[in-house]
Amino acid sequence: MRDQIVAGNWKMNKDFDPGLLLVEEIQKMMSEESPGATKVVVASPFIHLARISEMASQSDALYVAAQNCHPESAGAYTGEISAPMLKSIGVEYVIIGHSERREYFKESHELLARKVKAVLDQDLIPIFCCGEPLAVRESEQQGVFVNQQLSDSLFHLNPESVRQLVIAYEPIWAIGTGKTASSAQAQEMHASIRQHLAEQYGKEIANEVPILYGGSCKPTNAEEVFSGPDVDGGLIGGASLNASDFMAIVRSL
């Protein structure tokens, strides 16, 4: 049974106190209505992580993710944070390769490969993001494009490391645009990703890797998007900033 995960990526939102209040609201709703086997992950800005880790330690189903990390474990990298630092405060997941990091900070496949290894070396779980822009989707090359992202940034890993991964498919054309891939489009790409993993590592391992959908998922469409057999949850952006909306998505899974 693959992990079922709903992860909230706050991006660069929420000052310190409002962020903690949001987590308190999520925890209260989780205590009132158990999320069952679903893992609920909060990916806050760095300022909240240590405190949220303490709060999450009181909950069986709440986990904490960082939105990024540096590939080196220490050094003269002003403004950066390392995987060992994240581990030291109780972080369990790290988002790697989000489309905004790729676009705004020009993160290459090679850099992301190093980041994935750095996270795994600390026994943390990478949430590796992949997905195509609109031009690629319109040219119907999305499978080739995403497979290249996976090959270049993940296929240096040994099979046991791949078992630790979470992959998030985020169609870039559907992030923050209000557009959403249909349930059929989401399932098609998730199945393609799983098949690509199977070709490299075998079906058994490929079937163990959770694949999340990450494109404008909200309470009104979550149940439909999650209906595909290869869709194991979501990486949620804007809707994760509201506790009621976020927990409605959790309930959908």
CB 139: neighbour CB atoms within 10 A?
11
Tell me how many degrees the CA angle 219-56-222 measures, rounded to the nearest 5.
Answer: 15
Residues marked as catalytic: 98, 170
Give CA torsion, residues 82, 246, 4, 140, to 10 deg: -80
Contacting residues for 17 by C-beta, under 8 A, at least 6 apart: none
Q: How far apart are CA 97 and CA 184, in angstroms?
A: 24
Q: How far apart are CA 147 and CA 130, in angstroms?
A: 9
- For residue 189, CA distances in Å to 12, 144, 210 come to 28, 11, 13
